[in-house]
Structure 1
Amino acid sequence: MSCLLSSPPIPTLSSLQTQNPNPTKEEWLYTSLKSPKTPTQLKTLHAQIIKTGLTQNDLVFGQLFLCCSISNTMNYARHLFDKLHHPKLFFYNAMIKGYSLNDFHQDALTLYTLMRYRSVTCDSFTFPVVLRSASTLGKIHIGKELHGLVLKMGCAERLIVQTAFIDMYCACGLSSYGRLVFDKIVDKDVICWNTMIAGYIKCGEYGYAKEVFELMPVRNVSSWNTIVDMYCKCGDMEMARKLFEDMPEKDVISWNALISGYAKIGESGEMRRLFDEMPRKNVVSWNVMITCYVHNRQFLEALELFRVMQVSDVKPNEVTVVAVLPVCAHLGALDLGKWVHAYIDRNRVKIDVYVNTALIDMYGKCGSVEDAKRVFNNARVKDTFLCSTMIEVLGTHGKAKEAFTIFSYMRSTGIKPNDVTFVGLLKACSHVGLVDAGVKYFFMMSEEFRLMPKVEHFGCMVDLLGRAGHIEEAHELIKSMPMDPHPIVWGALLSACRIHGNVKLAEEVALRLIELEPQSCGNYVLLSNIYSKAGRWDEAANLRRKMKEKGVVKKPGCSSIAVNNVVNEFFAGDRAHSRSKEIYKKLDEIVTRLKTEGYAPCTSSALHDVDMDEKEQALLHHSEKLAVAFGLISTDHKTPIRIVKNLRVCDDCHLFLKMISKYYNRQMIVRDCNRFHHFRDGSCSCSDFW
């Protein structure tokens, strides 16, 4: 496969001679500096400029600055700039533009300030770039100062400058100021009209945007794309589709906008039909489709499209892999996730903080904590989101102390924690029962970091207190919440009641939950399970009857296991798999062997009032047991078995998996809806606390 994002080789004089029989060294260097370069290549070309005496050639030396800009090596550019005794305006403009293009907006403004301090006169190329940086940082006062300066200098009539002011004012939320500038322009070009439309859209003033669009004397494809995209974002697909059909000319952006619009409202069929009809697809088109599938939880479709993309003439980039990695994470497909990681390395896909965060999340959700830690340790840039993701991964796997270490690292390096950081820390405390540590972090949020606890944080605290047996304290915390308790908070308390058998409070909480979420099956099922576990079969049966009357359908337990990059799903009592006869035969063999080793089914996990044999049979066919049996007959004895379950693992399956890990000498990693369980040598990483 060809490399992505790799810099082209420096052209040689002989290669240029095929285009120009007698290229000068000046022409050779100028041409070489027109494409992105690695830092080593830049230094080589700089050395050539010095050796050939072209340091005084503004054309070549200026192109070196521009090359640094497109190569994202602004530190090197600044090193060169600072060595110039009296930099000309051209070099200031090149540096400011380079900073702005690479999102170093504060550096761009700082250099502009230095330029003004040194009395270097600005021109019409300076102002638009500085205005872009000022608007990006929301520094409207700088924009207004620039406006006054432009008026004094007599540059206010330049269309490029006027258009930049329209964009700046609208980006800062002052569309009325932008419109005043717009209305004073005598000869507006199509870019100016498009900027005003886009400005109104940025400010959420869609009516004014449509009004300006209708007043346009001439529209280009960008004009149409902007207004179509506006209607797509508003969810008005009927108008978006009408405008799309009316477009005299469509480009790939037009198609991408409409596809994104249909994805937003969940119309995956129409979305795919448009994608298939596209005459030309670029990498953005593929990324939009894959991302849309992921957002609509159509993970297998996203995966299949990624596979098709690889054999197309469009190569995936960092946006693609950030979209695909969550698919691997959701499916628990570690081998596929590792393949994507290898693809990133092999094709030199740009690894930024977003890619690293997606990799950590994928490895964490696929059960490979060591790989997640390796990515974290190797990441050159660590920000709040990267660290928070690592904390969440460690906490979900029951490694609370390591999660605390990452948090300490954040504090020591000045990385500011956010709401997500503390959710991860509180979950880490909850999974291992560290009540005192959880209380400390909960109060630290507001006292040290001025972060007000949200519903998610209260939910974590109720879960922490409840799991640890402090049910009354958890109940009191809910009563003291400054906002109305969300169902997620009551759900955490109901789960605690199930763990500790508090039927009385469970009834009160469940009734409140059913009132808040009448169609949520989980609330009915949880209370029914509590009744069943307490032997109150009549109440359990009545609750299931109410579910039927209200049309509430119980979510079936499902376990998946990826073998040879194929995801296999199992439901309780499932016989749809092509190897079901082998699976059930293996399962019978396992039960026979484990019973000789002392396995006694936890019939309390069978939640129906039937005889003991029927209870054992029902337990035997739970989805995770089928997945384990399939894993044992389908993988090498040294290969860890990785299972993803959509519900909580029951007590019987937990015991069953512990015994398999011991008597079959197999490591198993199971991700249920709450946490990870690492089974090894007859024990589980959760220490039976889940």
Structure 2
Amino acid sequence: MISPSASSLCLLPSPSTEPEQRHALKSSSKRISETLRTELVHKFNSSLELKQVHALVIKTSTPLLALPLSRVASVCALTPNFAYAQKIFNQLDQPQLFIWNCCLRNFAESDSPFDAILLFYQLRMHNVHPDSFTCSFVLKACVQLMDLFHGRIIHALIEKLGLQSNLVLQNVIMHLYASCGDMSSALLLFDKMGQRDIVTWNTMITQLVKTGDVDLAYKMFVEMPERNVRSWTAMISGFVQCGKPKEAISLFNKMEETCLKPNEVTVVAILAACADLGFLDLGSKIHEYSDKNGFTRNTHICNTLIDMYIKCGCLKAALDVFEGMKEHTVVTYSAMIHGLAIHGQGEKSLKLFFEMIQKGMKPNGVTFIGLLNACSHMGLITEGHGFFTTMTKDYEIVPAIEHYGCMVDLFSRAGLLHEAHDLIKEMPIKPNAAIWGALLGGCKVHKNIEMAEVAMRHLQELDPFNDGYYVVLANIYSEAKRWEDAARVRKLMKNRGLNKTRAWSSITVKGMVHEFVAGDDSHSLSMEIFEKWHELLVQMRLKGYVPNTSVILLDVDEMEKENFLSRHSEKLALAFGLINTRPGETIRIFKNLRVCEDCHASFKLISEIVGREIVVRDRNRFHCFKNGTCSCRDYW
């Protein structure tokens, strides 16, 4: 180890050292000194340190430009030393407003955008006249903070300075008003603008979509003189968000005609529309496009693909996407856990949860909704109650109304109606209609009239115009042959102007969606459909099928009940699918209501007769019929 004194001696030239060596040592020492000075000049963090560095610069005759001016500005911007920084800037040829604007931009884009507003007031206090860039950076901070108060002040200043013709500023002001919820001011500004560009139109459409005014957004979209991918994507996303997936897909098809290529945001939106409608063909096409363009490296897109395949009844494809992902998030696991649960793969759902925990990933509230759904669909009461307890005890997740709904559904399905009722009464939050509806559904399964009437009293207060609850109660009465009570409920519906939601089922064949309603004979292939069903009925009877006419809750004879049964919408859709698809091809049907017991029994037999997999998505879950069995194991 070299001692400090020895080290110092090494730098001093000895008398015997050659002149060239002495010169080299002096040059080296000078370079070291300059390096140290340069490092000091760039390392100040306060006004006091700045003054010390400034003194060093003067003492060593270093050019003032050696000071990092943006750092000088940021250190002095919000302190009483603002004027000190001004004095430094005034000694330079560069205009000081440029330096302050750079500082404003940095503040506006930082984690503390309010600093930009504070600096703006400093500039005004010290008579630094703002320009359009100054105003744009402060407005950007206001947008970040949703600060309409200061935004209005800047808007007034822009008018005073005569900068109102600046389109960039006008666009930012309009964005500020709209994002802060003042749509009337945003629209007024939009109408008064003498000039608009594609940013102007896109901003208004995006903000209108966010407020839910999709009709006005679409009107503007149609009026746009020019559209880019962002314009189309904003409108497609708007239709999806407001529950208009058909319109979203129609618009996407028109976008494709313009030869514009969808970006990652477009892909997420259209996949969500495919999920809502069960459009597997289009969803698969988007998946191929995403693979080709490298979008599947995006975890969010992969999560959306998983959700789409799950909702389209293609569990294997969802698992393929899951297993092909390099990175899984809690959203990924939650989506897959829920998907397995509603497809009757409850054991795999629970197994995936434990795999997630072993990897050190922390579940969230959505994860537990999937788990509780899995337990509910399999009748795992003990396990479900354990997860409900674990959620709060181990993960500090406060149960939301959805978690209580899952627990009530779990108890109700299993016939523990009094336990479900007790849980509702003990809930720390007020139960909603979905909670009482879950109890009512359990009452129908287990034919408990007394508890059904209790649930219905609450439902009439919470959701008096939902026809489904009245229909369930009327059906409970009808099954018990209490025809007068059933008639009373139907009369109550009529008095309230409620009509029973008509059951419909849809099936997509060769890219076209075909819809059927119960008793439908309007389809162009109705005769072939009825003949196909009759053919299936003959084969089913040979296997011991007896129509379950108890599901027809009308006081009519057995023959008429059987006729009603054969015209259920899912049966018509199935017959149509068998006529128009290749042998062995999976048939996917979507129904708006719950599958009835007779259709469920029929589909099990037909899956064996025709050697096909039949996937039915009803209001609650998926039923995957294959080789004479159903994935729900007859527990639904």
C-alpha distance in structure 1 between counterparts of 2:341 and 2:234, whole Å: 32
Q: Deviations over 1:417-456 (max 9, x none)?
A: 1111111111111111111111111111111111100100
Partner of 1:669: 615
Partner of 1:187: 129
Deviates more, 1:429-438 or 1:227-236: 227-236
C-alpha distance in structure 2 between counterparts of 1:324 and 1:202, whole Å: 28
Shift of 1:307: 1.8
C-alpha distance in structure 2 between counterparts of 1:127 and 1:685, whole Å: 69
Shift of 1:376: 0.8
- Residue among 390, 395, 398 paired with 1:449: 395
The SS at the match of 1:538 is helix
Q: Which amino acid aligns with 1:464?
A: L
Map 1:498-517 → 2, pairs under 5 A:
498-517=444-463
Shift of 1:256: 1.5
Answer yes or no: is the 8 Å Cα contact 2:147–2:180 preserved in 1.
no
- Residue among 70, 81, 101 paired with 1:159: 101
Partner of 1:660: 606
Q: Deviations over 1:591-640 (max 9, x none)?
A: 23322332211112112222222222222111111110111001011101
Answer yes or no: is the 8 Å Cα contact 1:124–1:158 preserved in 2.
no
C-alpha distance in structure 1 between counterparts of 2:152 and 2:537, whole Å: 69
Q: Does 1:679 align with 2:625?
A: yes
Q: Which amino acid aligns with 1:629?
A: A
C-alpha distance in structure 1 between counterparts of 2:525 and 2:258, whole Å: 34
Shift of 1:561: 0.9
C-alpha distance in structure 2 between counterparts of 1:585 and 1:149, whole Å: 90
Gaps in structure 1 of 5+ consecutive residues: 1-84, 94-120, 132-143
C-alpha distance in structure 2 between counterparts of 1:528 and 1:145, whole Å: 76
User: 1:212 and 1:500, CA in 2 relative to 1: closer, same or farther beyond 3 A?
Assistant: same
Partner of 1:436: 382
Q: Does 1:595 align with 2:537?
A: no
User: 1:146 and 1:209, CA in 2 relative to 1: closer, same or farther beyond 3 A?
Assistant: closer
Q: Does 1:215 align with 2:157?
A: yes
The SS at the match of 1:158 is helix
Partner of 2:319: 373
Q: Which amino acid aligns with 1:506?
A: A
Partner of 2:335: 389
Partner of 2:16: none
C-alpha distance in structure 1 between counterparts of 2:444 and 2:552, whole Å: 15
Map 1:352-501 → 2, pairs under 5 A:
352-501=298-447
- Residue among 300, 307, 328 paired with 2:253: 307
Shift of 1:158: 2.4
User: 1:371 and 1:610, CA in 2 relative to 1: closer, same or farther beyond 3 A?
Assistant: same
Q: Does 1:540 align with 2:479?
A: no
Partner of 1:56: none
User: 1:165 and 1:230, CA in 2 relative to 1: closer, same or farther beyond 3 A?
Assistant: closer
Answer yes or no: is the 8 Å Cα contact 1:169–1:178 preserved in 2.
no
Which has more radius of gyration? 2
Q: Does 1:619 align with 2:565?
A: yes
> TM-score, normalised on structure 1?
0.76
Partner of 2:173: 227
Q: Does 1:573 align with 2:519?
A: yes
The SS at the match of 2:295 is coil
C-alpha distance in structure 2 between counterparts of 1:397 and 1:122, whole Å: 66
Answer yes or no: is the 8 Å Cα contact 2:330–2:364 preserved in 1.
yes
Partner of 1:200: 142
User: 1:617 and 1:233, CA in 2 relative to 1: closer, same or farther beyond 3 A?
Assistant: farther
Shift of 1:503: 0.7
Shift of 1:389: 0.8
Q: Which amino acid aligns with 1:516?
A: L
Map 1:54-73 → 2, pairs under 5 A:
none
C-alpha distance in structure 1 between counterparts of 2:80 and 2:363, whole Å: 40
Partner of 2:590: 644
Q: Which amino acid aligns with 2:157?
A: L
C-alpha distance in structure 1 between counterparts of 2:116 and 2:550, whole Å: 66
Answer yes or no: is the 8 Å Cα contact 2:337–2:367 preserved in 1.
yes
Q: Which amino acid aligns with 2:145?
A: C
Shift of 1:274: 2.1
C-alpha distance in structure 1 between counterparts of 2:149 and 2:556, whole Å: 65
Shift of 1:347: 3.4
User: 1:480 and 1:208, CA in 2 relative to 1: closer, same or farther beyond 3 A?
Assistant: same
- Residue among 551, 557, 561 paired with 2:497: 551
Shift of 1:473: 1.1
C-alpha distance in structure 2 between counterparts of 1:363 and 1:176, whole Å: 48
The SS at the match of 1:687 is coil
User: 1:183 and 1:557, CA in 2 relative to 1: closer, same or farther beyond 3 A?
Assistant: farther
User: 1:176 and 1:628, CA in 2 relative to 1: closer, same or farther beyond 3 A?
Assistant: same
Answer yes or no: is the 8 Å Cα contact 1:197–1:210 preserved in 2.
no
Map 1:10-159 → 2, pairs under 5 A:
123=68, 158-159=100-101
- Residue among 504, 525, 528 paired with 2:471: 525
Answer yes or no: is the 8 Å Cα contact 2:146–2:179 preserved in 1.
no
Answer yes or no: is the 8 Å Cα contact 1:166–1:182 preserved in 2.
no
C-alpha distance in structure 2 between counterparts of 1:620 and 1:588, whole Å: 9
C-alpha distance in structure 2 between counterparts of 1:123 and 1:378, whole Å: 49
Shift of 1:122: 8.8
Partner of 2:272: 326
C-alpha distance in structure 2 between counterparts of 1:122 and 1:480, whole Å: 68
Shift of 1:577: 2.5
Partner of 1:339: 285
Q: Which amino acid aligns with 1:194?
A: S
Shift of 1:126: 7.3
Deviates more, 1:308-317 or 1:362-371: 308-317
Answer yes or no: is the 8 Å Cα contact 1:570–1:626 preserved in 2.
yes
Shift of 1:384: 1.3
C-alpha distance in structure 2 between counterparts of 1:227 and 1:406, whole Å: 49
Partner of 1:21: none
Q: Which amino acid aligns with 1:652?
A: D
Shift of 1:286: 1.0
Answer yes or no: is the 8 Å Cα contact 2:117–2:138 preserved in 1.
no
> TM-score, normalised on structure 2?
0.82
Shift of 1:390: 1.0
User: 1:377 and 1:184, CA in 2 relative to 1: closer, same or farther beyond 3 A?
Assistant: farther
C-alpha distance in structure 2 between counterparts of 1:689 and 1:587, whole Å: 26
Deviates more, 1:529-538 or 1:217-226: 217-226
Shift of 1:214: 2.8
Gaps in structure 2 of 5+ consecutive residues: 1-34, 44-65, 90-95
Partner of 1:279: 225
Q: Which amino acid aligns with 1:474?
A: A
Q: Deviations over 1:459-509 (max 9, x none)?
A: 001111111121111111111111111211111111111111111000110
Taking only the aligned residue pairs, the percentage that are identical comes to 40
C-alpha distance in structure 2 between counterparts of 1:672 and 1:145, whole Å: 65
Answer yes or no: is the 8 Å Cα contact 2:295–2:301 preserved in 1.
no
Shift of 1:578: 2.7
C-alpha distance in structure 2 between counterparts of 1:673 and 1:425, whole Å: 19
Q: Deviations over 1:262-282 (max 9, x none)?
A: 434554444333223222211
Q: Which amino acid aligns with 1:601?
A: P
Shift of 1:587: 2.0
The SS at the match of 1:195 is helix
Q: Deviations over 1:25-62 (max 9, x none)?
A: xxxxxxxxxxxxxxxxxxxxxxxxxxxxxxxxxxxxxx
Deviates more, 1:419-428 or 1:576-585: 576-585
User: 1:290 and 1:122, CA in 2 relative to 1: closer, same or farther beyond 3 A?
Assistant: farther
Q: Which amino acid aligns with 2:289?
A: Y
Partner of 1:110: none
